[in-house]
Copies of this chain bind each other. A is one copy, B any other.
Amino acid sequence: MNNLNKVKKLIINKPLKLDCGKTISNFPLAYETYGELNEKKDNAILAFHALTGDQFASGINPITNKEGWWSYAVGPNKAIDTKKYFVICANVIGGCMGSYGPSNINKKTNKSFGTEFPVITINDMVNAQYHLLEFFKIEKLFSVVGGSMGGMQVLQFVSNFPDKSFTAIPIACTASHSAQNIALNELGRQSIMADHNWSNGFYQENKSPNKGLAVARMAAHITYLSKKGLQEKFGRKLQERDDLKFGFDADFQIESYLRYQGSVFVDRFDANSYLYITRAMDYFDLTKQFNGNLSKAFEKSNTKFFIISFTSDWLYPTSENREIVIALNSLGKDVGFAEITSDKGHDSFLLDVPDFLNTVKNFLNTSYKKINEKRI
């Protein structure tokens, strides 16, 4: 991973006590911003990324030279309009795009931390990113928004900092990681750990467990799509050849697609970061943090919520998103909810799904207007 020393970083000087008990300090948090912070500093949105995302939400990612992961949603005139809002997005700690993570150099050994890096949680990620508010001198965010693991961070943020965001949009997420999702993450981890090159986490950059990481990515990728979506897009279509080859090369288009997804992923992602971030997701259980009563997580907050799920998302199905709505409803909080019809599965939040993008746009713009009307 070259050029990572060129990415924007905030060095967090204050010690951060992690859930595992260790304290870290003087650690980097790589971030990116889009749009302009206005004078009143009331137009800032903190966007949280998912498992394999990073700070490059929009535009061209300078490391991969590809479009940012949320280019459909974030940009001028888009759902999260960077002509109006100032969007901040940071690479989570544990990640591999410049923030403090297992591929960072351990000054004690002069090698990467590897599996000596502390296990981090969604809570730790959010607490680290809170320092961005101080850095930008933002008293209160206009919104916190994110899908999948990003949505978990939204929930944790509001719980930790109940008066620090006017609005919140958790998308396609859960308050408590399910058994099936733990199982799927464990599958990815076991795949990486099964790779000969993993070496208990102490691999060299030129000899990393790419095969295991690629298989982990393929497994995850299948779960991001719906059965129906896969059938419509790929079905049993063969590669350019018309006939089956009676071998183990990719006969079907879905096979070469998956292999491609695996192969490009390893160029941009660190295997140990995959272990750490999936672990953080598995550990996420906001309901348990409040002794089984999820409502308690939001009791002190007046943040206005809008929760979004997708019909074909079987990883974080509507039922799990609805539990968050119910918890907020039981407190009489201001909460909207939309289940968007889409065949694109969990990935819907990253894709061009107009009903979804319009929902986000309208919620943000209407809320921003109301907040400003109240002030006047």
A183, B282: Cβ atoms closer than 8 Å: no
Q: Is the CB of B183 within 8 A of A212?
A: no
Interchain CB contact under 8 A, B254 and A182: yes
- In the complex, which of the residues B20, B246, B252, B258 contacts A119, with contact meaning CB atoms closer than 8 Å? B246
Is A193 in contact with chain B by the CB < 8 A criterion? Answer: yes
Least CB distance, A229 to chain B, in whole angstroms = 9
Residues of B within 8 A of A118 (CB): 246
Q: A186-B218, A222-B184 are in contact. Are A178 and B119 (CB under 8 A)?
A: no
User: Are B214's CB and A194's CB within 8 A?
Assistant: yes
Cβ contact within 8 Å between B227 and A314: yes
Mark A207-230 against chain B: 1 for CB-CB distance below 8 A, else 0: 000011011001100100101001
Give the residues in chain B near A215, CB-CB below 8 Å. 187, 190-191, 194, 215
Q: How many copies does the complex hold?
A: 2
**Contact status B195-A194, CB under 8 Å:** yes
Q: Which residues of B contact A119 (CB under 8 A)?
A: 246-248
A227 to B179, CA, bound (A): 8
**A300 at the B interface (CB under 8 A):** no
- Given the contacts A194-B214, A236-B179, A186 and B254 also touching, CB distance less than 8 Å: yes
A252 and B222 contact, Cβ closer than 8 Å, known pairs A190-B259, A215-B215, A246-B119: no
Q: How far is the CB of A160 from chain B (nearest CB, A)?
A: 19
Q: Is A214 within 8 A of B190, CB to CB?
A: yes
- The reply to whether A190 and B178 form a contact with Cβ atoms under 8 Å apart is no
Task: Establish whether residues B248 and A189, one from each chain, have CB atoms under 8 Å apart when the complex forms.
Answer: yes
Contacts of A376 in B (CB 8 A): none
Write the chain B residue with the least CB distance to A193. B248
Of the A-B pairs whose beta carbons lie under 8 Å apart in the complex, a sample of 19, sorted by A's number, is A115-B248, A177-B236, A178-B231, A179-B233, A179-B236, A180-B225, A180-B230, A182-B254, A182-B255, A183-B230, A186-B218, A186-B255, A187-B215, A190-B258, A190-B262, A191-B215, A194-B215, A219-B219, A248-B275
Task: Tell me, rounded to whole Å, the shortest Cβ–Cβ distance linking A288 to chain B.
Answer: 7
Q: Of residues 112 to 149 in A, which have CB atoms within 8 Å of B's CB atoms?
A: 115, 118-119
A196 at the interface (CB under 8 A from B): yes
- Tell me the complex Cα distance, A252–B179, Å: 9
Ranked nearest first, the 9 interchain pairs of A and B with the lowest CB-CB distance are A194-B211, A196-B196, A20-B246, A119-B246, A179-B230, A179-B234, A180-B227, A186-B255, A180-B230
Most chain-B Cβ atoms within 10 A of its Cβ — which of A118, A234, A244? A244
Check if A265 is an interface residue, CB within 8 A of chain B: no
Number of A interface residues at 8 Å Cβ cutoff, please give it. 58
Chain A residues 169-211 with CB under 8 Å of chain B are 176-180, 182-184, 186-187, 189-191, 193-196, 211
Q: Given the complex, which residues of B lie within 8 Å of A225, measured CB to CB?
A: 180
Q: Contact check, A222 vs B182: say whether CB atoms are below 8 A apart.
A: no
- For residue A15, CB closer than 8 A to chain B, the reply is no
Cβ–Cβ < 8 Å partners of A337 in chain B: none
Which residues of B lie under 8 Å from residue A244 when comparing CB positions?
283
**Using Cβ atoms and an 8 Å threshold, which residues of chain B touch A279?**
248
The reply to whether the CB of A235 lies closer than 8 angstroms to some CB of chain B is yes
A233's nearest neighbour on chain B, judged by CB, is B179
Q: What's the minimum C-beta distance from A330 to chain B, rounded to whole angstroms?
A: 22
Contact B231 A179, beta carbon cutoff 8 Å: yes
Contacts of A288 in B (CB 8 A): 236
A275 to B255, CA, bound (A): 14
| Chain B CB within 8 A of A285 CB | yes
The answer to whether A236 and B189 touch across the interface, beta carbons within 8 angstroms, is no
A190 touches B218 (CB 8 A): yes
